Amino acid sequence: MEKDLGNYRKSYEKSALMEDAISDNPMELFQKWFYEVEASNTVDETNSMTIATIGLDGYPKSRVVLLKRYTYEGFIFYTNYESEKGKAIEANPKVCLSFFWHSMERQVIIKGTAEKISENLSDGYFESRPDGSKLGAIVSNQSEVIASRDVLEDGVKALEAKYKGKEIPRPDYWGGYLVRPISIEFWQGRPNRLHDRIRFALQEDFDWKIERLAP
Ligand SMILES: Cc1cc2nc3c(=O)[nH]c(=O)nc-3n(C[C@H](O)[C@H](O)[C@H](O)COP(=O)(O)O)c2cc1C
């Protein structure tokens, strides 16, 4: 089986990223881009991103998760702390997040370290979720092998009965991570493969060094 994709080619012409249009803090540029992507109404889940971890088997692995909050401190997402990614982060908290906003010809790549957020914050977010999502989080031993789908469906039914009319508590194996960035690279597609790449790198004095990279 073979398919040649050599002719897949696109010219990126939508925008530019120039030094005179950026502030000293990359989170402000992230916010600007995020708002612009949202306002464009061309991306289904602006907040979907991949997170790559180095696994216990030594291989990198990336998968999509949803960004649920960002601040000057960094990026927060929620997951199962005992999942494959949770175990990977436990052993090596250095991770890479990336966003690809295809319709805007933009990519953002964030290197940083992941840490668990406070239980209070995780509780707050868990409480805001619909009951079905809460039960789903409880019932899923994320990343474990299961015998069949029935394990999940039956598990949820049992939990529905257990928590009928009661508050559903956040399991302690589920919560948020904050990824504190040490480097954020913004990539804007440009014609003739002369793309704009601006990288912010955190310095020891907590200032951000801003550099342009060759595409
Ligand atoms: C659009 C999309 C959003 C997702 N959001 C999350 C999320 O916020 N948290 C999460 O744990 N998994 C999310 N997933 C599932 C993950 O991609 C992944 O399958 C899961 O976290 C298990 O990964 P792991 O076994 O590598 O730990 C999402 C998947 C997709 C496609």
pLDDT tens, position by position, 8-49? 999 999 999 999 989 999 999 999 999 999 999 999 999 999
Residue 214's CB is within 10 A of a number of other CB atoms, namely 6
- Residues serving a catalytic function are 193
- HSE-CB of 132 using CA atoms within 13 angstroms: 1
Answer yes or no: is the C-beta of 50 below 6 A from any ligand 1 atom. Answer: no
pLDDT tens, position by position, 90-118? 999 999 999 999 999 999 999 999 999 99
Average pLDDT over residues 172-184: 98
Closest Cα to atom 12 of ligand 1: 65
Closest ligand 1 atom to residue 83 Cα is: 27
- The DSSP secondary structure of 185-205, one letter per residue, reads EEEE--GGG--EEEEEEE-TT
Closest ligand 1 atom to residue 63 Cα is: 17
pLDDT at 65: 98
Q: How confident is the model at residue 3 (pLDDT cuts 50, 70, 90)?
A: very high
- HSE-CB of 140 using CA atoms within 13 angstroms: 15
Please, what is the average pLDDT of the chain?
97
Task: Give the whole-angstrom CA distance, residue 34 versus residue 2.
Answer: 38
Task: Give the whole-angstrom CA distance, residue 173 versus residue 53.
Answer: 18
pLDDT tens, position by position, 146-168? 999 999 999 999 999 999 999 99
pTM above 0.85, yes or no: yes
Name the DSSP class of 172.
T
pLDDT at 137: 97
pLDDT at 152: 97
Average pLDDT over residues 120-127: 98
Å from CA of 9 to ligand 1 middle: 30
User: What are the residues whose beta carbons fall under 8 Å from the beta carbon of 27, sequence distance 6 or more?
Assistant: 70, 71, 72, 181, 184
Percent of the chain with pLDDT over 70: 100
